[in-house]
């Protein structure tokens, strides 16, 4: 398929791997923020293609994984309200909250439906006027405009029974939070490709400037990721960190202004609760007052028990890049894709799921 197959070419990958090996002298640590990158890196054996001087860590870029237990508990409680239909993206349904999951709620009689798009959620509201239809709005800057569009569509078509629980999160502020914590020392960041299609390259500029950390925006095929690593290694070796785009067929420096305008019309910036990280100011999107009739937080009230994390689960550490899935005692023994304990094993973008699916202990440790 065009724009995919070319970037999976073995000869091109080998050429880049060769150049990275030639260039790399310093021992460095890179973090890929996006769960899509984590999966591609494991799936295509990128860790085996780069020299041992280059360590790769996964970051908080899996939308399902970073959703806090307390927010999941709220989604589950909303699903149990009478005449409510909860709609959500596929991965969310199996993620365990503190006491239950949306899947379990469904088994207990709640109406929980998986949708491919926010367009489908609005459609469900339209054909079920007697129900309140709540969309669980997870995701990053890539998904936010699609959620904004659903609210604008509901307003335009006068669909009064459509609501959004806004759990949307923002990438640069959480990068800042991780860098400020200093827990994991990083030399470079593989910046998310499809978040950057929307936000462009400018919002990362504070990272090389204030933290001296290299930033390169990457596509999702193996050759894209190797090109990104090549550019990161080059910047770090030269001691000249900056923001570069290694995915110019998808990302423009200015991003997609039209999509951002929609997001900014519907949402304002507020705090967000991240699993493993906690509440980070200015890292989330809240529905603006002028659209509050669509805000599930305003329209419904649920009482929640204090949230808790699954015992022994290290998803929080994995999300921060402070631990790899291999360092979790539950990994592969108790926690598997069939019987996941934490969200990083449930989601198709989760680091634990990627390690489980594609890794052996030997190749993951680089042996």
Residues that bind another protein (CB under 8 A): 1-4, 6, 9, 11-12, 14-16, 18-19, 36, 89, 116-120, 142-143, 145-146, 149, 194, 197-198, 220, 223, 227, 230, 248-252, 256, 258-259, 262, 349
Alpha-helix residue ranges (DSSP H) falling in the chain: 10-23, 35-43, 46-49, 69-79, 102-107, 118-127, 144-156, 171-181, 193-199, 206, 222-238, 257-266, 296-299, 315-320, 343-346, 351-358, 361-364
230 or 317: CB nearest another protein: 230
Decide if 309 contacts 69 (C-beta within 8 A): yes
Decide if 38 contacts 354 (C-beta within 8 A): yes
**Beta carbon of residue 109, minimum distance to another protein (angstroms, whole number):** 28
**Beta carbon of residue 249, minimum distance to another protein (angstroms, whole number):** 4
**Buried b vs exposed e over 32-52: b needs ≥16 C-beta within 10 Å?**
bbbbbbbbbbbebebbebbee
DSSP 84-119: EEEEE-GGGGG---SS--HHHHHHTT-EEEE-SSHH
**Beta carbon of residue 11, minimum distance to another protein (angstroms, whole number):** 5
Distance CA 78, CA 134 (A): 8
Measured in degrees and rounded to the nearest 5, phi and psi for residue 130 equal -85, -5
Decide if 329 contacts 323 (C-beta within 8 A): no
Tell me the helix, strand and coil percentages in the chain, rounded to 5: 45, 15, 40
**Beta carbon of residue 322, minimum distance to another protein (angstroms, whole number):** 25
143 or 273: CB nearest another protein: 143
**Beta carbon of residue 197, minimum distance to another protein (angstroms, whole number):** 4
Q: Which residue has the tokens 């969309």?
A: 135
**Beta carbon of residue 338, minimum distance to another protein (angstroms, whole number):** 23
**Beta carbon of residue 92, minimum distance to another protein (angstroms, whole number):** 13
9 or 180: CB nearest another protein: 9
145 or 173: CB nearest another protein: 145
**Beta carbon of residue 36, minimum distance to another protein (angstroms, whole number):** 5
51 or 212: CB nearest another protein: 51
156 or 360: CB nearest another protein: 156
CA distances from 79 to 84, 105, 126 (A): 6, 7, 18
20 or 77: CB nearest another protein: 20
**Beta carbon of residue 156, minimum distance to another protein (angstroms, whole number):** 11
16 or 102: CB nearest another protein: 16
Contacts of 122 (CB under 8 A, 6+ apart): 150, 153, 154, 157, 159, 162
Decide if 208 contacts 243 (C-beta within 8 A): yes
310 or 350: CB nearest another protein: 350
């Amino acid at each position: 398929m065009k724009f995919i197959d070319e970037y999976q070419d073995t000869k091109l990958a080998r050429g880049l791997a060769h150049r990275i090996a030639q260039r790399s002298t310093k021992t460095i640590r890179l973090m890929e923020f996006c769960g899509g990158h984590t999966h591609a890196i494991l799936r295509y054996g990128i860790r085996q293609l780069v020299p041992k001087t280059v360590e790769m860590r996964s970051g908080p870029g899996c939308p399902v994984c970073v959703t806090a237990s307390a927010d999941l508990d709220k989604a589950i409680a909303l699903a149990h309200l009478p005449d409510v239909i909860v709609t959500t993206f596929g991965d969310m349904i199996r993620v365990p909250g503190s006491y239950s999951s949306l899947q379990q709620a469904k088994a207990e009689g709640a109406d929980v439906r998986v949708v491919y798009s926010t367009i489908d959620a609005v459609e469900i509201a339209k054909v079920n006027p007697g129900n309140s239809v709540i969309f669980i709005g997870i995701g990053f800057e890539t998904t936010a405009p699609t959620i904004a569009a659903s609210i604008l569509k509901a307003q335009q078509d006068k669909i009064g029974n459509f609501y959004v629980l806004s759990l949307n999160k923002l990438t640069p502020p959480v990068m800042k939070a991780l860098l400020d914590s200093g827990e994991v020392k990083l030399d470079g960041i593989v910046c998310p490709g499809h978040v950057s299609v929307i936000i462009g390259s400018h919002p990362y500029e504070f990272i090389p400037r204030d933290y001296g950390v290299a930033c390169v925006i990457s596509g999702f095929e193996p050759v894209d990721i190797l090109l990104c690593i090549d550019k990161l290694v080059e910047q770090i070796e030269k001691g000249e960190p900056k923001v570069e785009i290694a995915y110019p067929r998808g990302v423009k420096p200015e991003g997609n202004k039209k999509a951002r305008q929609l997001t900014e019309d519907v949402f304002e910036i507020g705090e967000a609760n991240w699993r493993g990280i906690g509440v980070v100011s200015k890292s989330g999107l809240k529905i603006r007052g002028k659209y509050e009739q669509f805000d599930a937080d305003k329209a419904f009230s649920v009482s929640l028990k204090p949230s808790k994390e699954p015992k022994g689960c290290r998803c929080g550490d994995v999300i921060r890049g402070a631990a790899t899935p291999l360092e979790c005692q539950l990994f592969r023994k108790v926690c598997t894709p069939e019987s996941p304990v934490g969200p990083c094993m449930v989601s198709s973008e989760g680091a634990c799921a990627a390690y489980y699916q594609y890794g052996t202990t030997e190749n993951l440790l680089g042996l």
